[in-house]
Structure 1
C-alpha cells in the first residue's frame, strides 16, 4: 500500500456570490461541507434528518444576530460539533488590507497594568526566608525576567527586565489566580493580547507552567530532581531527541509527526540505533502531538515490530471539488506550487491515475488502494527493546492515533496515559477559501472502513495503563519507568 498522503489543500471559489456578511459565509460553509465532507452523510444517517434540521434552526437564529466575522467563525465551529470534534474547522482570515486589528505602541501602553515593586533586594530577602518551593520568585521566559509576588489570592507577574520593545519594566506580564486548591492564569503575549489557561503547575521546584508557557526560576534557585527538567525540555522542544534514563531504559521524545519532522525523526533513530537495539526498555513520549503524515513514523515501526500489522484502508469521497486536489498534484499546481512542493514524474502519474478513477465515480466512495486491508510484514524481529511504552494524552489525534493503532498490535508495546482525542475516522483534509477569501474551511476527504465497528472519532484510543490525575504530568515518565522495572 502506498503511504497515505495527508496534505492540506485549497481550491478558491472565485465564481460565487460575493456577499461577505456572516449569513452568506455560513450558508457557503454549510453547502460546501454538506456536498463534499466524507463524514457528513454518515452522521446524518446516525442522528437523523430531523435532529439535523433542529440543529440548523438553532444556528440560523444565532447567525442572523451576528455582524462580527470573527464571532461568526466561532459559531460555525460550534455548528460542526453536531458531526465531530476534529478534522473540521473554519478559520477567519480577517479583512484583506485591514489595519483595524493592529495595536499601536500607544494603544499597547494604555492596555498594560503597572505593578511597581520599589525594593527588589528586600523582595529577595523575603524569598530566602521561605523554606518550601513557592510560585513567588524571580522567573525567566524567552525575552523576559519576571518577578512574581502574591497579593491576597492573586500572584502578579511584573517585568523586571525585557528584551522586547513592547514590554517595559514594572508592566504586568501575567497573573495567577488561586481559588481553593485550583489555579488559573492569564499570560499577556508580546502584542498585549491575553491567553487564559486552567493549566497552572509548579514542576518540581524550578519550573512553572502556565498553559503552553514555561518559566524557569532565577531566584531563589532550589535543588531539584531530574524529572521536572526532562518534562520541561520535552514539552518545549519542537524537535525529537533521545536520552538514557538508566542502564535499562531509553527515552525518546517525538513532539510531532508532521512531514517536515520526518527527517529529524529518522536522524535521531539512526544516530541511536545501536543503543535502542541493545537496551531493554524504550519509552516513546508523543504527548501533545500535532498529527501529521503516516510516513513520518515509518522508521519507528521496525523497533516495535513483533508480528504483521494490519491497517484498514480508507475510502475517498469523490466530488469535483475533492478530486481537483489530485489533478493539481498531477500538475504540481495548487498547494504544491504555493508551498514549493515538487512531485516527481512517477508520483504525478499516480495522482493523475487516481484523479481519473475518482472522476468516474462522482458521488461515491472509492478505495484507491489495492485492497481493503493492508498487512505490513517485516523480515526482522529485534530482541531489544523488549518493552516499548508509548506515552500519550488527550491531545493526541489524527496520525498520532493511526500510529497507536499500528504500534499496539506489537506484543512489545503498552500504551500509557489518558484516552486520546478521537479524530481519525474522517481524515485527509482539504482546505477551501470562501468566496470573499476571508474564511478558510477544512474538512475530511476520506472515511475509514473501520467504522462503525471500531470507531475512534469522539471516543479516542484508551491506554493499557491509565495514569490517574493525582500523578502530575511531569511525573508520568518516572511512573512509566517504575512500571517497566517491575516487569
Structure 2
C-alpha cells in the first residue's frame, strides 16, 4: 500500500528534527513515526480508506501551520491521531517548567559522607543519654541505614549496607531536619541524579519518608506494624482484600508499581482463609492497566479448564526494538551473568533478523494453559468491569472469564487492548513525546476486537452498589 505521496512526504525528508520545533514540523515528525512504526498501521490505513487518510492528514497539517503555542499544537496533533481510533496511540505533552529567580536547573547537590561503620553507630547509640525518636537502625530491601544526630535538630542516615551499586557504605542516603516536634527530610535518588524534600514521620516501627518506607530494627519498639501493609495503606494503586462473611472481595486499581509483590503478600498471608471462602469478587473497575501477568497470580484459584492465551506480533522496526530494549530490557540484561546474556543475545539476534516485518516470536497465534486440577474454592467468582477498565485490566478479564467459575458483570470496558507493548518516542521538542504501541494482538485475525466497543459483561449492572449486586448474582 502506498503512503501519502504529497508535499508532506517530501517535506519529511528535508526536516532537521533537532532544530525545528514549529508545530508543522512536529506534525510531520509525528506522522513519519506513526507510519513507520505503529503496530496498527496496516489495519488502520488500507486501500479502502487511503484517500480519506490522505485528506485527513493534509487538512490537519494545514491547521498545524497556523498554530504557535505548544499546548494547542499537542491538541492539534492528537486530533490527527484520532483517525486511528487507538487510545494507546497518543501525544504526551508536558507543560514547560517555570523557574523563578530562586530555582536553578540542574540541581546542584553533593553526596555527603560520615564514613561511620555499624560498630561506630552502635557505639554512638550506647553512649547517648537519650535518643531522638528518629534515631535508630532502619532497613529496606535495598538499604540498611543508621540515623544519628550530627548537630541539634539535624540527622544523617548513614548507609551501613546496600544492594545499590551506585551507593557506598558510609555515604548519607537521607538528611532529616527536626522542626519543633515534626520532621522533614531530603531524599537522594538511587542513581544520585536528583534530590527531593518530603515530610517525614516515625509511625511505631516504620520510618515514613513519604515516597519510601524503612523498618526500624533498633531500638525495638513496643508496637510493630507490617511494613507491606503500611505501604499498601499509603498507595492508592495498591490492591486490597477484605472478607464479608463467606465472600472475599479483591480490588485492583492497577497492575503497576508494586502490585505484584503486594498481591503475592496478600495471597500468602490469607492463604488458608482464601481457600475456605466459597465466593470471590474481583473488582477490576477503574483498573488502569499495567502488566496483566500480575493478576495471573490468582489463576490457580480461578482455573477450571484449559485457558487460551492469544499471542501478539511486533512491528519490528529498528527504532521500535531500540526503544523497547532501552525502556524495558537493558537494566535486566546488564544484571545477568554471561550465560544469561548469551541466551538473550540469541533471542535478540533472531529479532533483528526480522526488522521491518510483523514478527510473532512465538510462531503461533495461541498458547494453551492446562493445570492438573481446579481448586474447590472459590466456587463462584464475580469479576467487575466498567468503562475505566482498560489495557491489561481487559486482558486479564479475557483470560479469567474462560473459567467456568467466573461471571463478568458491570458495563462495557474501555476498549484499549488490540495494540500494546507501548514505547515512547522523543520528538524535536522536549515537551512532546509520542506514545506508540508496537504490538498487534493476533485475536484481530479472528475478527474479534477489544477496542471497538470494549469487553461486554455477561450481566449488565445499574446503580451504584455493584459489589452487593455481584454477591447476589454469584450466590443464586
Distance (whole Å) between structure 2 residues aligned to residue 415 and residue 344 of structure 1: 44
Deviation at residue 432 of structure 1 after TM alignment: 1.3
Aligned position for 2:68: 67
Given the superposition, is the C-alpha separation of residues 40 and 414 from structure 1 closer, same or farther in structure 2, using an over 3 Å criterion?
same
Given the superposition, is the C-alpha separation of residues 36 and 377 from structure 1 closer, same or farther in structure 2, using an over 3 Å criterion?
same
Given the superposition, is the C-alpha separation of residues 331 and 51 from structure 1 closer, same or farther in structure 2, using an over 3 Å criterion?
closer
Confirm or deny: 8 A CA contact 1:306 1:381 kept in the other structure: yes
Confirm or deny: 8 A CA contact 1:318 1:361 kept in the other structure: yes
The alignment covers a number of residue pairs equal to: 332
Given the superposition, is the C-alpha separation of residues 344 and 391 from structure 1 closer, same or farther in structure 2, using an over 3 Å criterion?
farther
Higher RCO structure, 1 or 2 (CA under 8 Å, sep 6+): 1
Q: State yes or no: 1:245 paired with 2:244.
A: yes
Q: State yes or no: 1:477 paired with 2:467.
A: yes
Deviation at residue 17 of structure 1 after TM alignment: 3.9
Given the superposition, is the C-alpha separation of residues 419 and 43 from structure 1 closer, same or farther in structure 2, using an over 3 Å criterion?
same
TM-score (normalised: structure 2): 0.65
Distance (whole Å) between structure 2 residues aligned to residue 86 and residue 294 of structure 1: 18
Given the superposition, is the C-alpha separation of residues 48 and 326 from structure 1 closer, same or farther in structure 2, using an over 3 Å criterion?
same
Confirm or deny: 8 A CA contact 1:297 1:403 kept in the other structure: yes
Given the superposition, is the C-alpha separation of residues 306 and 324 from structure 1 closer, same or farther in structure 2, using an over 3 Å criterion?
same
Mapping of residues 28-177 of structure 1, within 5 Å: 28-45=29-46, 48-95=49-96, 98-99=98-99
Confirm or deny: 8 A CA contact 1:327 1:352 kept in the other structure: no
Aligned position for 1:322: 320
For residue 416 of structure 2, the aligned residue among 417, 423, 427 is 423
Pick the structure with greater CA Rg.
2
Deviation at residue 245 of structure 1 after TM alignment: 1.6
Given the superposition, is the C-alpha separation of residues 309 and 345 from structure 1 closer, same or farther in structure 2, using an over 3 Å criterion?
farther
Task: Deviation per CA, 1:241-291: give whole Å up to 9, x if none.
Answer: 211122x21111111111531100111122122122111110011111121
Distance (whole Å) between structure 2 residues aligned to residue 73 and residue 451 of structure 1: 30
Aligned position for 1:405: 398
Aligned position for 1:182: none
The 3-state SS of whatever aligns with 1:332 is helix
TM-score (normalised: structure 1): 0.63
Given the superposition, is the C-alpha separation of residues 387 and 319 from structure 1 closer, same or farther in structure 2, using an over 3 Å criterion?
same
Aligned position for 2:384: 391
Aligned position for 1:115: none
Confirm or deny: 8 A CA contact 2:324 2:423 kept in the other structure: no
Given the superposition, is the C-alpha separation of residues 405 and 343 from structure 1 closer, same or farther in structure 2, using an over 3 Å criterion?
farther
Given the superposition, is the C-alpha separation of residues 322 and 392 from structure 1 closer, same or farther in structure 2, using an over 3 Å criterion?
same
The 3-state SS of whatever aligns with 2:286 is coil
Q: State yes or no: 1:257 paired with 2:255.
A: yes
The 3-state SS of whatever aligns with 1:437 is coil
Q: State yes or no: 1:460 paired with 2:454.
A: yes
Distance (whole Å) between structure 1 residues aligned to residue 255 and residue 383 of structure 2: 14
Given the superposition, is the C-alpha separation of residues 431 and 405 from structure 1 closer, same or farther in structure 2, using an over 3 Å criterion?
same
The 3-state SS of whatever aligns with 1:265 is helix
Mapping of residues 211-222 of structure 1, within 5 Å: none
Gaps of 5+ in 2: 1-14, 104-231
Given the superposition, is the C-alpha separation of residues 330 and 61 from structure 1 closer, same or farther in structure 2, using an over 3 Å criterion?
closer
Structural RMSD (CA): 2.8
Distance (whole Å) between structure 2 residues aligned to residue 344 and residue 459 of structure 1: 46
Mapping of residues 169-318 of structure 1, within 5 Å: 237-246=236-245, 248-318=246-316
Deviation at residue 329 of structure 1 after TM alignment: 7.1
Confirm or deny: 8 A CA contact 1:331 1:348 kept in the other structure: no
Gaps of 5+ in 1: 1-13, 104-232
Task: Deviation per CA, 1:129-157: give whole Å up to 9, x if none.
Answer: xxxxxxxxxxxxxxxxxxxxxxxxxxxxx
Aligned position for 2:137: none
Aligned position for 1:372: 365
